[in-house]
Amino acid sequence: MQFKSILCPIDFSEFSVVAYHYALSLAGHYKSKLVLLHAVELRKYPYADYAASAGDFASFCKALCEGGSAKLHEFLKKHAHARIEVKTIVDQGSAPDLILSVAHAHDAELIVMGTHGRRGLDRLVLGSTTDRVMRHASCPVLVVSDPSHNAMTTGPEGRHFLRRILYCTDFSSNSQRALGYAVSVTEEYDAELMMLHVVEGHRDPVKAQALAAACQQQLEKLVPRSKHKDLKLKTVVRFGKPYLEIVQQARDAQTSMITMTARGGDVLDRAIFGSTTYRVIQLGPCPVLAVHT
């Protein structure tokens, strides 16, 4: 798999700065075109209604977009990378709608975005922008939620790389697509691929040992035998609540990136309980590559 075009929304927060650096690294490795998007959302400006009633709405929007464009170019100048081709877009509208439309227009094969890292009850639902993009994007979304932790390792000449990819599977057909991306990124970065399956609600220690062995074999069969000699492959089986065990495994192994399927129940179920993927994004120590089913 190749990420020929990568989209990175920028809102100038610390979250989008870290997401941008991930996008730069991936674009460098995959020789991708990188598109930066800044969405001007009028709901964030208290004078928008006044400008509309005063008949100066078009000028008001134009000024906001020009200001956003200047700020985005300053951002690019500060964080530029000489070897990466970058296109900048500034437009007015709803952020999730703009992200999805620009991703479609530019045939984006990956969206890299930050999401604000609040914790607690108000984080049972991801930020509305991230939530909508994850649920409707036709390409994978790499979500960065903790700007204080940089899971990328700095190598020679200051270049970043990924050391360990954690792929999570429940052995369903839905999770198979995410495996392709996990293997691709692992090969591109010469990283270690750690494959994890979590068994939920099993308490018999005698049966657990046999079950773990069976799951280990099933994990190994997910990757063609011909690739085993080329990949740094490790399989792990844990018992417990899936999102808790995934987060703990990521921490224990100092994972650079988690790859998993973005799916769950209906909107109400996600709002009240959150899917496994959503909780891992909220609580995990590194970015999550969410691959929509």
* Residue 260 pLDDT exceeds 60: yes
How do 5-9 and 33-40 pair as beta strands?
parallel
* Domain range summary for the chain, segments of one domain joined by +: 1-148, 160-293
Query: Is the domain 1-148 a CATH 3.40.50.620 member?
Result: yes
CATH H-level superfamily of 160-293: HUPs (3.40.50.620)
Q: What pLDDT is attached to residue 264?
A: 45
Half-sphere exposure in the Cβ direction for 3 (13 Å, CA)? 29
pLDDT (tens digit per residue) in 197-232: 999 876 777 788 889 999 999 999 999 888 888 889
CB count within 10 Å of CB 109 equals 19
pLDDT (tens digit per residue) in 3-40: 899 999 999 888 888 899 889 888 888 888 999 999 98
Are the beta carbons of 258 and 285 closer than 8 angstroms?
A: no
For the chain, percent of residues with pLDDT exceeding 90: 39
Average pLDDT over residues 102-110: 96
Mean pLDDT of the chain: 82
β-bridge mates for residue 164, sequence order: 192
The full length of the chain comes to: 293
Fold agreement between 1-148 and 160-293: yes
